[in-house]
Amino acid sequence: MALLKLYNKQLQLKAYLENAFKISYEQQFNSIWTAAFSLPLNDLKEEEISAFDFLELFDNGKRIGMFRILPKETVKNENTKTVTYKCEHVLATLLSDVLFRYHQLSNYTTKDVIEYLLSQQETKHWKLGKCDFTRYFHYSWEHENTILGPLFSIPKPFDEPYEWTWDDSIGNYPWTLNLVKVSNEITGEIRYRKNLKGIRKEEDPTDIITRLYCLGYGEGVNQLDISKVNPTGKPYIEAPQHIIDKYGIHKYIWADKRFENVGTLFSSGQALLNKKCRPKLTYSVDAIDYELIDPYKLEKYEIGKLIRISDEELGIVDVRLMKKGKSDVTGNPLNVNLEIGDPIEDLGTTQADIERRQKINETYSQGATNIDSHDYNDNCDPENPAVIKFFLPEDLVNINSLILTYEIEEFRAYSKATKGGGATVQSTSAGGAVVDSTSSGGGSTQTSSSGGGSTQTSTSGGGGSYTSESGGGAVPSTTQKSFAELHLMSGVPQNSVGTDNWGYHLHEVVIPGDYFSHSHTVNVPAHGHQVNIPAHSHSVTVPAHAHSVAIPNHTHQINIPNHTHEIQLPDHMHDIQHGIYKLSEKPSRVTVKVDGNIVPVDSTSAQNINLIPYLSKDGSGKIDRNKWHEITITPDRLGRVNANIISRLFIQSRIGGTF
């Protein structure tokens, strides 16, 4: 049976390479396998081979896998005329596709993430088969030059061992890729005097890590660390205490800017620490491939499975097979090299990883810190505070700082008068008052003199008789009654009787008043009175004289009662006088609020107020995105606010176009 079968790019059989020799291969756990073979320079089938043709490799009847051909190396000299071909496993077909631009998957299952990446193939060589894990990590990639790299990164945060397996047989195209849990089954044994030819144990503590600082994307203060999800709140994680007691503290800063999610970064760091917290222990074994000669076919040295090593000096250890290789399948088919335990990274592996990381960092969108300012200048009063609003977008990565500086000035107006319509304006009532004038300066005498003496005469119009006559005779009478009755008292004259009390007595006579009623009658005949006034004149002589009036010191007092004034204003207009006019006073204190939270400052000027503690936040403690935030400054009287907000924001350019 031919050890090599050649297929074209459509997986159609082209040739059997029966003259191939120096066939070698190397299988490595969770990595791309490699192979190589040589042909005589004069082999006609050499013309059939093209780069990236497919090659099926067998090892003495056991199928190893499907490979694709890489560039060839031709060696021609006097002793050797050969052509050597290097090959890589068909898993490397995933190196031919890329992830252009930014790709982010959050809260997708592991299976969904794998299927998403496999869907990016131009030619669908692979499909997903079995997936033993269901995790919900955050993944993001940008400008990846392969699909395989992102695919291999999916299980890196897992806290348990995993294994990539596949079915790359011809009849199973597109080939099947599986992500499964590793098996703890012991599938083979290596024992001295049975199949163990030589063994080398290497324990390398040079790369031991017991304290790991984990850093993700970003730079400076914006670089992602694990302090927010680490139970200790520190930016590093440590190995168990008994390991630290044994090996001490060995620190390492692990920065991989591909990580944007802090949970994924923490899990990946923990997995790395678990791997690196002990010295690297590797067994390099030269053995006989007992699987080829075992009559019972019980021995199998399969990549990723456990191998039991029994040695007189090392004892019995069960170690996972990490690498298996044969240098010459045709010349020495039983010689097999096994690397068990932690794989040894040679210089080429380390350098390749460094170069790959550098390329990723060159194309990766890390972001940048931007400084911006929001200015505000306007009048305000206690009922109408200054309101400063600013918006924080959803894709804002970090808010480094938000600083408020403000000052209060006098209220400012820009004109003095405006148009006014007619109106009746009534003043407020005035209270009653007594207003005293000022006192005079002292008494004075005011005098006026006549022009000289004079005689003033008035003359009657002539003599005349003036007569008044009665209306005729009349008898007026009057009646008078002075009392109602009259009492007259009389007695015996004193000493007219001889003995005491003899004859003393009184006489009383009562005369009714009616006897005293009477009337008088006077008869006035008709008559007249005549006065004869002859012609005459009156003469008054006014001598020269003067009048003198003395005015003493005095005051005047005016009493003003309660009253109102009413003014009637007709329709009219005022011309506007433009200018800038400020009040003579300004506020004495203010109240500052940020998203409704009071800031403990009330002065009329302040600088560099940190707004971060007062901004509204979500359940995780981060400042709310995709919403307006509001700052209010309320003075205690009319005033003007000059304010400025300086923001330092870390952003990434992953949305929008290039307009």
- pLDDT one-digit tens code per residue, 499-548: 555 555 677 777 776 666 666 676 777 777 777 777 778 787 878 878 78
Question: What integer pLDDT is reported at residue 355 of this predicted model?
Answer: 47
Structure token pair of residue 274: 């678990």
Residue 130, pLDDT score: 96
Cβ–Cβ < 8 Å for 486, 510: yes
Domain positions in the chain: 4-91, 96-182, 206-276, 368-414+582-651
Residue 121's SS3 state is: coil
Fold of 368-414+582-651: Jelly Rolls (2.60.120)
Tell me the fold of 96-182. Phage tail protein beta-alpha-beta fold (3.55.50)
Cis ω before 174 (30° cut-off from 0)? yes
pLDDT attached to residue 238: 95
C-beta neighbour count of 479 within 10 angstroms: 8
pLDDT in tens, 514-526: 666 666 676 777 7
- pLDDT tops 80 at residue 358: no
Tell me the C-alpha distance between 235 and 296, whole Å.
Answer: 55
Its pTM stands at 0.54
Q: What confidence score (pLDDT) does residue 460 get? A: 56
With CA atoms as reference, report the closest residue to 115 among 143, 142, 90, 150.
150
Q: What is the dihedral of CA 220, 222, 228, 230, to 10 degrees?
A: -40
For residues 509 and 529, give the distance between their C-alpha atoms in angstroms, rounded to a whole number.
52
- Please tell me which residue, 447 or 13, carries the higher pLDDT value: 13
| pLDDT above 80 for 97 | yes
**pLDDT of residue 78 exceeding 60:** no
Burial class (CB in 10 A: 0-12, 13-18, 19+), 534: exposed
What is the structure's pLDDT at 427? 56
* Res 362: pLDDT: 44
Residue 99: phi, psi to the nearest 5?
Answer: -110, 100
Q: What φ, ψ does residue 264 adopt, rounded to 5°?
A: -65, -40
- What is residue 179's three-state secondary structure? strand
Q: Give which of 162, 146, 170, 148 is closest to 65, Cα–Cα.
A: 170
- For the chain, the average pLDDT equals 80
- Percent helix / strand / coil, the chain, rounded to 5: 10, 45, 40
Asked if residue 346 has pLDDT above 90, the reply is no
Between the CA of residue 247 and those of 208, 280, 317, 341, 452, what are the distances in Å?
9, 13, 22, 20, 146
- The continuous run of DSSP H or E covering 553 comes out as none
pLDDT at 497: 54
Q: How far apart are CA 475 and CA 36, in angstroms?
A: 184
Residue pair 604/408 in contact by the 8 Å Cβ criterion: yes
